[in-house]
Amino acid sequence: MQTVNQFLTAIILFGSFSFFSAQEKRTISLEEAVKLGIENSKNLKIDRAQIEESTANLLTAKNKQLPELKVSGSYLYLPLEPNLNIKLPGLAPTGVKVNQVLYGSANVSLPIYSGGKIKYGIQSAEYLVEASKLNADNDKNAIAYNISQAYNNLFKANEVVKLLKENLTSSQRRDQSFVKLENNGVIARNDRLKAQLQTSNIELQLMEAENNYSIANITMDLLLGLPDNTEIAVDSNYTGEDDLTKPDDYYLNLARASRNDLKALDYQRKAAAVQTKSAKAENLPSLSFTGGYVAADIPKLLTITNAVNVGLGLQYNLSNIWKKNSTYVQSKAKEQELAANKDLLNDNVTLEVKRDYQNDLYAHKKIDVYQRASEQAEENYRITLNKYNAGLETITNLLDADTAKITADVNVVTSKADAALAHKKLLQTAGIINN
């Protein structure tokens, strides 16, 4: 059995060495990880494309207030001789043959009044650009928390690996002592096998912890845009002290002032209100300045030059008198929808902040409980070991005490990491995780 234990240990150590020796090691703090993750986020690339799309829509809206200038020209070749019958007083019929025609024109139009549709279109597009930027910032908050969560998993896995390695070394030393005691007839073979079984269980736990660490490391590499063979060394001071002195109303007020999804929804509501005005303006006439130039040449028959025209163009769709303005109705419905969404989002923000605040307090309180449990498990193991050495306790109770001590130590490590993450979640809900 001892040979099997040594063989498994060798496999673990060799596998760990082979995996990490092929990797580039890099120490990264949580702040650096968040910065890298935001820079390389594929979701934010989509957001940037959406901002560019909104900006292009704004440019389209602004272009509508600029003059339109259109130039056209035609050359016509007439393979069949047309019949010309010019009936003008004092002008005798001619025998002119026409086989080609040249024609050109230029037209300019400048909007003067359009019922405000152009102005409202520009305002609406500007609001939507701001909304898209705020949505991108809101996604940055979500990405920051996702990276914090992945970093937390990596930290926990790393701490559990270190803890189990220490316990494995201690358990292996105990196995060696038990072999000697068995050879000297001090303990029964069954007690030695129970101890070695405990060592095997710790080895399996260590293998699982190292596997979790490898998966967490690969996840971080992908999130940060690093080569997938980069080993990330976490900051040992990750689980620092958090400020828990402020009440939940403090974070709720922060959320109402800082949440970018709330701000983005406000801009969407402004855009919808302006679009309603624009839809209402469709029932109004439009006025524009117009101008043009025409030139034509029919060889041997007609030439037109300097045919310049200027004027005003008035347009009004009379069908608006009996047709319902469906665009206006849709826009008003959109306003009502966004107003309801704002009320719902405010309720959700209140619930999320108060829930995450309670979870933050609960997670930090658990640390104290687990630390007391760890101290109790340590003392229980010490007493049980002394009794066992004095022949007053069984090997089963000793191993149970050892298992309880290992479990308590792991709980302390993981509870500290979970508390740090719970506080990050509260900051994300309040909209200030990137601050």
CATH at residue 254: 1.20.1600.10
Domain contains 384: yes
> Angle, nearest 10°, between helix axes 260-280 and 248-258?
40
| Structural tokens at position 268 | 């969407």
SS3 content of the chain, % helix, strand, coil (to 5): 65, 15, 20
108 lies in some domain: yes
Identify the residue with better confidence: 432 or 10: 432
60 is written with which tokens?
Answer: 């389209």
Six-digit token pair at 30? 């949580």
Long-range contacts of range 63-68, CB-CB < 8 Å, 24 or more positions apart? 64/111, 64/118, 64/121, 65/111, 65/118, 65/122, 67/108, 67/109, 67/110, 68/108, 68/109, 68/110
Q: What pLDDT is stored for residue 268 in this prediction?
A: 95
Name the band, by pLDDT with cuts 50, 70 and 90, for residue 18.
very low
Among 32-41, 319-328, 351-360, top mean pLDDT goes to 351-360
* Burial zone of 430 (CB within 10 Å; 0-12 exposed, 13-18 middle, 19+ buried): buried
Residue 73 placed within a domain: yes
Question: How confident is the prediction for the chain on average, in pLDDT?
Answer: 87
Determine what percent of the chain is predicted with pLDDT higher than 90. 53
Q: Are 425 and 356 in contact (CB under 8 A)?
A: yes
pTM: 0.80
Q: Where are the alpha helices (DSSP H) in 225-325?
A: 248-258, 260-280
Q: What is the DSSP letter of 246?
A: S
Q: What residues pair up with 100 in beta bridges, in sequence order? A: 77
Amino acid at 269: R
Specify if 90 maps to a domain.
no
In a domain, 118, yes or no: yes
Range of the domain at 301: 2-82+97-429
Checking if the pLDDT of 2 tops 80, the result is no
- pLDDT score for 10: 46
pLDDT band at 81 (very low <50, low <70, confident <90, very high): confident
- Over residues 280-299, mean pLDDT: 87
Instruction: Assess contact for 259 and 138: CB atoms under 8 A.
Output: yes
In a domain, 151, yes or no: yes
Answer whether residue 123 is part of any domain: yes
Is residue 89 in some structural domain?
Answer: no
170-186 confidence digits (pLDDT tens): 999 988 988 888 888 88
Residue pLDDT, tens place only, 203-245: 999 999 999 999 999 999 999 988 888 899 988 788 877 888 8
pLDDT, position 87: 66
For residues 337-363, give the mean pLDDT. Answer: 96
Residue 4 pLDDT exceeds 60: no
278 Cβ contact partners less than 8 Å away, ≥ 6 residues apart: 116, 117, 120, 121, 124, 331
Rounded average pLDDT over 95-104: 80
What's the total number of domains in the chain?
A: 1
